[in-house]
Amino acid sequence: MEPEYRKGRATVAACGASLLLAAVFEALTVLAAHDRTVRAASPWRDDPYHAVVGLAELAVPWLGLLVVLRLFAWRAPGGPDRAQQTARAAGTITTLVGVASAFEWAAVLGAAPVARTGWTSVLVAGLAVTSLLAAGAAVLLVRCRQPLGSARRWRHDWLGDVALLLRWTPLPRRWTDPAMVDRVRRHALAVFAAVSVLAGAGLAGAQSIGERLTDPLLVTWYFVVEATSLLAFCLVSNAVAGFVVRPAAGRARRAVETSLATGGAAVLLAVAFRDAIRAAFGLGPVTAVPTLVGLTLGAGLGAAALAAVLALAVPARPTGHQRPHHGEATR
């Protein structure tokens, strides 16, 4: 069996490659999305490419920040769990950038032509570099992969490490005591929802100011889309990387969370492919705000309802999760 220290070194190398990838991707994406001159020359400035790239632009820096913070607690108890969870978070970064890059290449090869300038060449060259970095990070991540099913044995999580790091600050101790941390674990869904709503409100406000939106329905729609897609991302990424290790889910909670994740993903996909969906039914492009709201949110509600029914119909399986411990080694 490969020594643990080699696994740890492989994980750190993979995380470093993913962080480099995140930095390059974010710099190029922010430039292409928020500079008017550069955006006019961007092949992926319109949907469905923009919707996918925009989600990655929002999620990647937060995941990168969490990975960096996790490295400060690298030698704390729970090393095997920490290495696996951090590698999964780095893998999520690489996957998001990889999917966004695939959409960008699709835009370069098949989208409606744009007025090519020097910036177009810069963006395409940056896309090529990003794609190579993503491939390299993926190779390193494969080297530190863990066996299937090992996530069910997690006993440490990112939340415990955050509490440990916060104890080095002058914050009140009651914010980081085990009772408070356990309370957050029990109410993780409410925490994810609150974070998503606050972030969605901020993004909707910034968009309404930046684009000078005056239609209340359009602003509200934008807020709902951002909040639901962010909540779906929180639920899915938590299941992948174990940010908060929670008690085993009962059938009702599993149905609710499956419904929310599926509905949020469906809303985002409907936003990205709204014109293609209407074209499949012989309809023209979306031109009215009520039509946009009905199509996208209707798709999300329908997908959420179907996912809830299916989740309730399937019996819950034991997950094998153990109660997270504070300051206790996992092996």
pLDDT in tens, the chain (331 residues): 445 555 667 888 999 999 999 999 999 999 998 888 898 888 888 888 888 999 999 999 999 999 998 888 888 877 788 888 999 999 999 999 999 999 999 999 886 666 678 889 999 999 999 999 999 999 999 887 765 555 556 778 888 888 888 877 777 777 778 888 888 898 999 999 999 999 999 999 988 888 888 899 999 999 999 999 999 999 999 999 989 988 877 889 999 999 999 999 999 999 999 988 998 888 888 889 999 999 999 999 999 999 999 998 877 665 444 555 544 433 3
- Please tell me the distance from the alpha carbon of residue 115 to that of residue 302, in angstroms, as a whole number: 39
- Please tell me the distance from the alpha carbon of residue 89 to that of residue 94, in angstroms, as a whole number: 9
- Please tell me the distance from the alpha carbon of residue 158 to that of residue 283, in angstroms, as a whole number: 47
- Please tell me the distance from the alpha carbon of residue 182 to that of residue 211, in angstroms, as a whole number: 42
pLDDT of residue 90: 94
pLDDT of residue 7: 61
pLDDT of residue 81: 85
pLDDT of residue 330: 34
- Please tell me the distance from the alpha carbon of residue 258 to that of residue 295, in angstroms, as a whole number: 21
Q: Which long-range contacts (CB under 8 A, 24 or more apart) does 145-151 make?
A: 145/87, 146/84, 146/87, 150/84, 151/84, 151/88, 151/242
pTM of the model: 0.84
Q: What DSSP state is assigned to residue 173?
A: G
The H or E element spanning position 190 is: helix 188-210
- Positive or negative torsion for Cα 284, 290, 296, 299: negative
The answer to whether 297 touches 218, Cβ cutoff 8 Å, is: no
- For 72, other C-beta atoms within 10 Å of its C-beta total 12
Structure tokens at 50: 């923009």
- Please tell me the distance from the alpha carbon of residue 311 to that of residue 69, in angstroms, as a whole number: 35
| All residues at 6 or more sequence positions from 86 whose CB lies less than 8 Å from its CB, including other chains | 11, 15, 67, 70, 71, 241
Strand, helix or coil for residue 75: coil
Q: What DSSP state is assigned to residue 150?
A: G
Rounded to the nearest 10°, the torsion over CA 94, 100, 101, 104 is -170
- For 120, other C-beta atoms within 10 Å of its C-beta total 17
